[in-house]
Amino acid sequence: MLRLSSDINIGDYNFNFCNEVEINSSWENLTDTAKITIPKNIRFKKDGIFTDAITAGSDALWKRGDSVSLSLGYDDVNASIFSGVITKISPKFPMVFECQDNMYILKQTTIPKYSKTGVTLNQLIGDILPSNFTYETEDITLGKFIISSASVAEVLDYLKKKFGITSYFQNGVLYSGFAYKSATIDTIANGPLKTFDFNKNIIDASNLEYIRDDDTNLKVTAINILPNNTRQSITVGDSLGEQRTLYFYDVTTAELNTLANEALTKYKYEGFTGSFLTFLQPTVIHGEAIQLVDATIPDRNGVYLVKRVITRFGQGGGRQEIHLDRKI
């Protein structure tokens, strides 16, 4: 019988208990969020003296902007799940802390003016990111890039909308590039993959749906970003199908057509879509590839990319809700 365990750091204080924690993490969003609820029947000491100045006043125990880190697991074998800052505190009991990852800091960091010609993504991120941040990028050329009084987070959001470049924090490092890192393919090739078995560690699969490739109507638009920041696009597939948009950088028209049709084939797969519920371990993060195994119907075995993970921990137990992107 495993025992739930946690290591929760809020500001200068550490907890190994809570009412409830919920963490929402996805590459689809710039910002990962967490909500921490702590019990109401506790009192707080500061410098050995009980205090009521918990969230109010200049000498409050906690305030917006204080650091937060969460590690969760079983029998004190905990995995780091979230790090960030407090963005809102509900002062009533039970006390609720709403938190965002370090993207919150980048929302407060303003770039007054920036202009560079022939800039790469790596150069841009290095120029605009505060010096105490670490980062990783894909090799992408953006061309001429101008910023006039925008926050770093706004620039990252613009990169996503304009160029299809995804940005998010993992393990304290800002990543900018493709939704799935190149290293993910290496993981698939070299393994081993984290495995989830319908007969062992999948608790609830009711939100998974098995689809066949001929049941899927898709439309893929491939957009080519040229070095001068102009675009060309090709759309293939069913004109009334579900839209998928992909971005490529400085390829030929023939290559773009090939890539669009390859993507259409890739996305029209036979396999699962949706989400499933599992235990806290093995711990999964978005962007990973995982393996689903069905001993009863082996044809349903497959490797899938993960686009979102919702982690819940508390009196009702510890669970991961894992959302699949596509089969590979």
Half-sphere exposure of 263 (CA within 13 A, CB side): 22
Domain boundaries, the chain: 4-101, 109-177, 181-215+269-328, 217-266
pLDDT value of position 187: 62
Q: What integer pLDDT is reported at residue 190 of this predicted model?
A: 66
**CATH number of the structural domain 109-177:** 3.55.50.30
Q: Coil, strand or helix: which one is 2?
A: coil
Global confidence as pTM? 0.88
| Topology adopted by domain 4-101 | Thrombin, subunit H (2.40.10)
pLDDT value, residue 275: 97
What is the crossing angle of helices 152-163 and 121-128, to 10°?
160
Question: What's the pLDDT at 293?
Answer: 95
List of residues 6+ apart from 82 with CB closer than 8 A: 23, 25, 32, 34, 68, 69, 70, 99, 101
Instruction: Return the amino acid letter for 94.
Output: P
Q: Which residues pair with 143 in a beta bridge?
A: 119
Domain 181-215+269-328 has CATH 3.40.630: no
- 10-residue averages of pLDDT along the chain (328 residues): 91 88 96 91 71 67 91 95 94 87 96 91 96 93 89 96 91 90 64 90 95 82 85 89 86 88 82 95 93 90 94 93 92
Supply the pLDDT for residue 94: 84
Nearby residues of 105 by Cβ (< 8 Å), 6 or more positions away: 85, 130
pLDDT of residue 33: 98
Q: What letter would DSSP give residue 213?
A: G
In angstroms, the CA 44 to CA 277 distance is 36
